[in-house]
Amino acid sequence: MKKRRLKKGIKFILTILLVIIISYISITIYQKYSENNFKIEVPENQEIKRLKELNYKDEEIDFIIKEISKENLNYLIKNKIDHTIAYSIIKETYYIDEYLEKYIKYLENNQDLSFKEIITRINCHLDVEFYTNTEPTNTKIGKYVILNKHYYADGSYKGENLVDIDGSYNLYGTSFKLSKECYEAFLKMYEDAKALGYGFKINSAYRSFESQKSIYQGWVNQDGQELADTYSARAGYSEHQTGFAFDVRDYPFTNDDYSKTKSFTWVSQNAYKYGFIIRFPKGKEYITGYQYEPWHYRYCGLECAEYINKHDITYEEYYEYFIRYNNPRNLK
């Protein structure tokens, strides 16, 4: 019994000594490498390594790899895109990842433009001439449907849920139609304006493909196509075909220039509260392709109209980022 106890005691002591020795060695090794600023090396993935070789900074890499696709990451590396250019473009507010290569190529030929302007022009398809490389619009998205010099509809598109406008709201009592949702919003705006002493009436509303074709040709015959294209839409490209757009004039009539009327002052400042925007605003002609039209209003809903009013952008810009590409950065 004594021999067994002695053996157990020796084993216990040896175990304690072994633990002490191992601990001492571990502490010594740790201290040694700590003094030499030892760091555990974590292998970098190939993309990050290549970006660093191209002088991309750590903060630029961290941001970029979160914002772009694997395909676009490889594009930057393969084409040795300058880190300042790539980072500046990708961090722009309305950046759309599908257009990265287009942004960079457009910048190469337009180096006088800001990165913000590059984003705007590409998003709005201004890298090509109006009415070229056009595509059919999505007519299934209600009040967000777009018709402009890039998106078109054929004669089978008859607007959406059209209703007759009461003649008392129309100039000269003529007959017009609007989308039901748009018309209801118009009535609210009209009554609120009337209560405050501001008067206006609708001068034009829904137009069919055939009607627009006739109107446009009339202006071409009068002024020539080049000038007509600055103020009249070709058939299939007109906002009026959606049923969500209308023109107004002050009533009773006071000035041939609607922008100089009291009615315009109130409507232009309050239309967004009812879901309307000035569709072809001043200073944005190069984006919309049309002259400033203070009388032309478009219904796009409260959320859309409030955002456009607050951020001073066109519907072209809003549509591409928020509707077509579904707000990829969750902007508020």
Neighbouring CB atoms inside 10 A of 13's CB total 10
Query: Looking at residue 278, what is its pLDDT?
Result: 98
Structure tokens at 285: 């002609």
pTM for the model: 0.85
Q: Is the peptide bond before 294 cis (omega within 30 degrees of 0)?
A: no
Q: What three-state secondary structure class fits 177?
A: strand
Structure tokens at 251: 């009533």
Residue ranges per domain, the chain? 1-36, 46-123, 135-324
Token pair 């409260």 in the structure block, residue: 302
For the chain, the 3-state helix, strand and coil shares in percent, each to the nearest 5, are 55, 10, 35
Indicate if the alpha-carbon torsion angle 213, 214, 215, 216 is positive or negative.
positive
Q: How far apart are CA 92 and CA 323, in angstroms?
A: 18
The CATH fold of domain 135-324: Muramoyl-pentapeptide Carboxypeptidase; domain 2 (3.30.1380)
DSSP letter (8 states) at residue 126:
T
Structure tokens at 173: 């009592």
Query: Looking at residue 220, what is its pLDDT?
Result: 98
CB 149 within 8 A of CB 131: yes
Nearest by Cα to 303 from 274, 328, 262, 269: 274
Structure tokens at 196: 């405050």
Query: Looking at residue 23, what is its pLDDT?
Result: 62
Query: Looking at residue 41, what is its pLDDT?
Result: 47
Q: How many residues does the chain have?
A: 332
Q: What three-state secondary structure class fits 243?
A: coil
CB 290 within 8 A of CB 93: no
Query: Looking at residue 172, what is its pLDDT?
Result: 83
Query: Looking at residue 22, what is its pLDDT?
Result: 67
Structure tokens at 194: 């009337």
Q: What three-state secondary structure class fits 245?
A: strand
Angle at 92 between CA 303 and CA 271, to 5 degrees: 25
Q: How far apart are CA 163 and CA 180, in angstroms?
A: 6
Q: What is the pLDDT along the chain (332 residues), one digit of tens a residue?
A: 544 554 555 666 666 656 566 666 666 655 655 555 544 444 568 999 999 999 999 999 999 999 999 999 999 999 999 999 999 999 999 999 999 999 999 999 999 999 999 999 999 999 999 999 999 999 999 999 999 999 999 999 999 899 999 999 999 878 999 999 999 999 999 999 999 999 999 999 999 999 999 999 999 999 999 999 999 999 999 999 999 999 999 999 888 899 999 999 999 999 999 999 999 999 999 999 999 999 999 999 999 999 999 999 999 999 999 999 999 999 98
Neighbouring CB atoms inside 10 A of 287's CB total 21
